[in-house]
Amino acid sequence: MKRPPKDNEESARKISRRAALLGGAQMVFAGVLVLRMRSLQLGQSEEFRLLADENRINIRLLPPARGMIVDRNGALLAGNVQNYRIVLVREDAGEPRAALERLAQLVPLTPEDIERAEREIMRHRPFVPVTIMDQLNWEEVARVAANAPAMPGITPEVGWTRFYPYGAEFAHSVGYVGPVSEADLAARENPDPLLMIPRFQIGKIGVEREYEETLRGSAGHRRVEVNAVGREMRELDRQEGDPGSNIQLTLDRRLQAFTLARLGEDSAAAVVMEIQTGNILALASAPSFDPNLFVRGISVAEYSALRDNDHRPMSNKTVQGAYPPGSTFKMVTALAAFEAGLTTPDERVYCPGYLEAAGRRFHCWNRGGHGRVNITSALAESCDVYFYDLSQRVGIDLINAMAERLGLGIRYDLPLSGVSSGLNPSREWKRDRRGADWVIGDTINASIGQGYVLATPLQLAVMTCRLATNRAIMPRLVHAVDDIEQPIPDQPPLGLNPANLAQVQRGMWEVSNSQRGTAFGSRIVAEAMRLAGKTGSSQVFSITAAERAAGIRSQSELPWNRRDHALFVCYAPDVDPRYAVSVVVEHGGGGSSVAAPIARDIILAAQNGGLPPVEAYPSAQRNRIESMIRTISEQIGPPATPDDARSRA
Amino acid sequence: MSYLEYNVKRSPSGLRKVLYVNWALVLLLSAVASIGFLQLYSVSGGNFDRWTEPQMQRFGLSLAVMFTIGFVPLWFWRSMSVMGYAVSFVLLLGVEFFGTVGMGAQRWLELGPIRLQPSEMMKISIVMMMAAYYDWLDIKRVSHPFWVLVAVLLIVVPAFLVLIQPDLGTALMIIGAGGMVMFFAGVSLWYFGAVIGLGVGLVTAVFMSRGTSWQLLRDYQFRRIDAFLDPTLDPLGSSYHINQAMIALGSGGWSGRGFMQGTQSRLNFLPEKHTDFIFNTLAEEFGFIGSVFLLTLYIGIIVTCVIAAMQAKNRYASLLILGIAGNFFLYFAINMAMVMGLAPVVGVPLPLVSYGGSAMLMILIGFGLVQSACIHRPREKS
């Protein structure tokens, strides 16, 4: 519009003034912006740089190789084998269901597996590799690899998994590993971050569990740069972890295999120890199970079969099983009396087949009576009345002390699961636990290893070592960790009077070397290998009056789970003994008929460093023994390979 | 002075117009846009096709539009002011009823292949309209309450339409640009004082309204304000953006982490890294030096415009240039304040740098008008 020049000038002046005003304000604001930049970029840049690095750098753990477990001769008991698995990356594979169905044409994948895998895949971000199959054999992996171009996003990968080449032989001692459970994490105060890795496995029982930290090693790590959604962009650096330590056990694979095979179908346990060192050479609990099942993920059916078996395959009876030691306890009673000077080797006790005390009648196993017996014949013939008589004079306090001296009632610190302390009863124990006073009947029962007394097969083997050496031998299971030999525990002298001990040893010798001995049938004729031992048959239930009336007289007529436990402890050779063996056959019937033959075979195998030599047996038994040894040696196979295990599964 | 007067007698005509183009302004605009190309190349991880190439094409096209507008005499644009405002207003109403909802807001009209954002058009139209209004209005009456009320309504009604889309950032910019033209035109400072007072009252009212039935802002807008007031409140939720943006900016330090070396943007921690938060990628990769350099270029554009406005001895031209420069200032000032944690995240792009064609076209249309004013300025000798 047309304006007078005066207005135009005024307008221009006003605009200039206002422009200067607002321009100034704008400059001030720009100044504020610069100050803000200075404060953030120059003042706080270190902090922000740190935050940026925290954003982008992730630390990923590298699981270390688990240490191996070998036997005394270096045979591999627990190792790591390559494990092939199939991994799917959703963003490369496309529609997961279609991809899985294509895969199912190559490898066994049930519709349920596909369903489960699909759910698993959809739970993760599209770039996260998801394991959809594990434990594939080489042939299956090769098929998948050959078809890789047709199946984008599906790749076979190699990992490591635990493998036990000898399967059931070492299931209880070596144990097994399994996936980390909630309980495992809860039980640890500061769980190793490795345990959070999916599919990471830790020891669940046995040496695998007790030496978990040693075997596990320490994690390595990779520092990787990730983007905002967590996708790995590149590796910044990498530090390999330290592999776990290797552990060498004192166990002897061949002897272990023989021992377990010899126990056969029975519910039984046997321990073989090297007397001078306390090394445990075999630790067999029958029946056993394949620990590889647990590594792979045991099925419900397999697990319930193990759990519901009345022979309790999952229990390590050598240290968890506490049994009334029966007559194998009689050496304790005898030594307690001799050391206290309450009897002499010449003293004879008359056995009419029973003893009356405290208004009760305590029977000898031989109801006809043994007549006059001394210490040697009482042990050889296992006369109960002799020990009943001694025990009344000795009393429970001395018996308890002697049992402890010989290694009973002690919980040995071995890397095994559920090691039991057995039970070495005393007056205090009964008062505390049973709320009753100790009575003379308790002492009489204890004198023959019945009543409250309980011992594990391991404790019985330790007792046998101590009886053979007069030293406090301690059991030892771990020989070396990473080639560093573990010390042999101190073996202080027991301080028993050698003459007294010799009396007891003489009695044990007669058990299998005298015609009257309870284990004469299980004698060894090879002089350099002869054994000295003691039978035991411990009552689980008394034969009831009703059963007796029904004509049941012998153990074999009773139902299995009511029969006596059969026990035998022995050492050999009789001069300069080297090996001690204890055998317990649950509900086996009689120690002399069931446990002693087993113990003889095992101790011969130990002495021979292989199978038992047939010449060592009485000639009348050799045919039978030869065929038995053949059967057993056929059962002892070479170590399994991972593929064998898979085809069995 | 009539159009006829300067058109025939004193303004350059024909190809001679090229000589009178404000080349300093063209240079500054191109420099800023080039920084944009560089950063878009960087945040795309070295992918030229993804953002850089389309952005270059848009800049070329917008530059052509700028020159075209610049070569058209200013009297034509002055006569188009009312028409432009009316069309923008009608389209704003149209978007209210037929608009496409995107990103939770109604912001554009689909007219065949063209996606029209009437709120962007309004940013220019309001400046043209207000400049024309105060050119038409007798200088003596600019502070008369009635004529002030008319001006306020001209600004507030379209701003309200934009606000309910809802697009708080653009609404604020319309009010800011219109208000600045009123300020330059010489409206009494008392009015501005009163408006500032009212503004403070309004902010209070907005906060008071929270959680009531007459809530004045959407929940997401409230959350953005919360995130601004306390970025540590919820590091993975509403304030995640601003926290990550500050980390990117701050970790740049003096000279930055180097071109294409910014981890925050390269690894996608930075949200909207190619649009609203592109300044942070620049700050991360080129540091304090780079940030200040860009700010200097922006201020250079403002200064160039202010000089041009002073030289224009024409009320419409001066008000138009100052209004457009003020609008441009609002753009980068609000964006920078926002990405540096000095203002709530309101969704204002960094002019000429952020990826996006609509805003770039509108900004260069505005500078086309500035060029038109510069080229067609009556000169003593021609």
Q: Which domain holds residue B85?
A: 8-375
Cβ within 8 Å, pair B295-A34: yes
Q: Is the pLDDT of residue B156 over 80?
A: yes
Higher pLDDT, B86 or A545: B86
Higher pLDDT, B39 or B357: B39
| Of A230-239, B27-36, B231-240, B246-255, minimum mean pLDDT range | B231-240
Report the pLDDT value the prediction gives residue B378, as an integer from 0 to 100: 79
Residues of A in contact with B135 (CB under 8 A): 1
Q: Hey, what's the torsion of the CAs at A523, A528, A534, A537, to 10 degrees?
A: -40
Cβ within 8 Å, pair B186-A32: no
Q: Is the pLDDT of residue A645 over 70?
A: no
Length of chain B: 382
The predicted-structure confidence for B10-36, as pLDDT tens digits, reads as follows 677 778 888 889 999 999 999 999 999
As a whole number of angstroms, the distance between CA A128 and CA A142 comes to 23
Per-residue confidence band for A172, with pLDDT thresholds at 50, 70 and 90: very high
B322 part of a folded domain: yes
Higher pLDDT, B133 or A45: B133
- Please name every residue paired with A534 in a beta bridge, in sequence order, or none if there are none: A569
Length of chain A: 649
Cβ within 8 Å, pair A15-B319: yes
Cβ within 8 Å, pair A52-B248: yes
Nearest to B250 among A2, A23, A45 (CB): A45
Higher pLDDT, A109 or A469: A469
B2 part of a folded domain: no
Q: Is the pLDDT of residue A1 over 70?
A: no
Residues 6+ apart with CB under 8 A from B225: B217, B344
- Other CB atoms closer than 10 Å to residue A180's CB: what's the count? 21
What is the mean predicted confidence (pLDDT) over A380-407? 94
What is the mean predicted confidence (pLDDT) over B168-186? 91
Residue to substitute from B75, B182, B184, B239, interface A, most A β-carbons within 10 A: B184
Percent of chain A with pLDDT over 70: 96
A580: helix, strand or coil? strand
Q: Is the pLDDT of residue B165 over 90?
A: no
Residue of B nearest to A16 (CA): B310
Q: Tell me if chain B has a CB within 8 Å of the CB of A35.
A: no
Higher pLDDT, B264 or A386: A386
Domain ranges of chain A: 81-159, 253-635
Report the pLDDT value the prediction gives residue B132, as an integer from 0 to 100: 94
Q: Are A81-159 and A253-635 the same fold in CATH? A: no
The predicted-structure confidence for A216-270, as pLDDT tens digits, reads as follows 988 888 888 887 777 777 888 888 888 999 999 999 999 999 999 999 889 999 9
Q: Tell me if chain A has a CB within 8 Å of the CB of B343.
A: no
Residue linked to tokens 């930290």: A213
Taking a contact as any Cβ pair under 8 Å apart, which residues of chain B between 151 and 180 contact chain A?
A: 180
Nearest to B180 among A16, A22, A30 (CB): A22
As a whole number of angstroms, the distance between CA B144 and CA B137 comes to 11
Report the pLDDT value the prediction gives residue B229, as an integer from 0 to 100: 66
Peptide bond preceding B166: is omega within 30 degrees of 0, i.e. cis? yes
Report the pLDDT value the prediction gives residue A648, as an integer from 0 to 100: 42
Report the pLDDT value the prediction gives residue B215, as an integer from 0 to 100: 77
Report the pLDDT value the prediction gives residue A644, as an integer from 0 to 100: 61
Report the pLDDT value the prediction gives residue B382, as an integer from 0 to 100: 43
Q: Which amino acid type is present at position A102? A: R
Q: Is the pLDDT of residue A568 over 90?
A: yes
Pick the most confident of A92-106, A331-345, A536-550, B99-113. A331-345
Per-residue confidence band for A152, with pLDDT thresholds at 50, 70 and 90: confident
Report the pLDDT value the prediction gives residue A647, as an integer from 0 to 100: 46
What is the mean predicted confidence (pLDDT) over B193-217? 84
The predicted-structure confidence for A271-298, as pLDDT tens digits, reads as follows 999 999 999 999 999 899 999 999 877 8
Backbone angles phi, psi at A534, to 5 degrees: -155, 130
ipTM rounded to 2 decimals: 0.89
Q: Is the pLDDT of residue B236 over 60?
A: no
Per-residue confidence band for B113, with pLDDT thresholds at 50, 70 and 90: low
Report the pLDDT value the prediction gives residue A129, as an integer from 0 to 100: 78
B195 part of a folded domain: yes
- The tokens describing A578, both together, are 């080297």
- Other CB atoms closer than 10 Å to residue A341's CB: what's the count? 9
Q: Tell me if chain A has a CB within 8 Å of the CB of B91.
A: no
Per-residue confidence band for B170, with pLDDT thresholds at 50, 70 and 90: confident
Residue of B nearest to A36 (CA): B340
Nearest to B246 among A40, A49, A53 (CB): A40
Residues 6+ apart with CB under 8 A from B205: B216
Residues of A in contact with B185 (CB under 8 A): 14-15, 18
Cβ within 8 Å, pair B283-A33: no
Report the pLDDT value the prediction gives residue B239, as an integer from 0 to 100: 66
Report the pLDDT value the prediction gives residue A290, as an integer from 0 to 100: 93
Q: A241, A62 in Cβ contact below 8 A?
A: yes
Q: Tell me if chain A has a CB within 8 Å of the CB of B292.
A: yes
B268 part of a folded domain: yes
Q: Is the pLDDT of residue B2 over 60?
A: no
Question: Per the structure, how many domains does chain B have?
Answer: 1
As a whole number of angstroms, the distance between CA B303 and CA B297 comes to 10
Total H helices, total E strands in chain B: 14, 3
Q: Tell me if chain B has a CB within 8 Å of the CB of A102.
A: no
- Other CB atoms closer than 10 Å to residue B73's CB: what's the count? 18
Sheet containing B100-102, strands listed edge to edge, beginning at the edge strand earlier in sequence: B100-102, B105-111, B114-116
Cβ within 8 Å, pair A41-B283: yes
Q: Tell me if chain A has a CB within 8 Å of the CB of B350.
A: no
What is the mean predicted confidence (pLDDT) over A42-47? 88
Q: Is the pLDDT of residue A168 over 80?
A: yes
In CATH, what is the architecture of A81-159? 2-Layer Sandwich (3.30)
The predicted-structure confidence for A578-610, as pLDDT tens digits, reads as follows 999 999 999 988 888 999 999 999 999 999 988
Cα distance from B195 to chain A (closest Cα, Å)? 16
Report the pLDDT value the prediction gives residue A649, as an integer from 0 to 100: 40
In CATH, what is the architecture of A253-635? 3-Layer(aba) Sandwich (3.40)
Higher pLDDT, A322 or B108: A322
Q: Is the pLDDT of residue B4 over 60?
A: no
The predicted-structure confidence for B40-86, as pLDDT tens digits, reads as follows 999 888 889 999 999 999 999 999 999 999 999 999 999 999 999 99
Residues of A in contact with B45 (CB under 8 A): none
Higher pLDDT, A195 or B279: B279
Q: Is the pLDDT of residue A188 over 70?
A: yes
Report the pLDDT value the prediction gives residue A92, as an integer from 0 to 100: 80
Report the pLDDT value the prediction gives residue B232, as an integer from 0 to 100: 57
Higher pLDDT, B372 or A237: B372
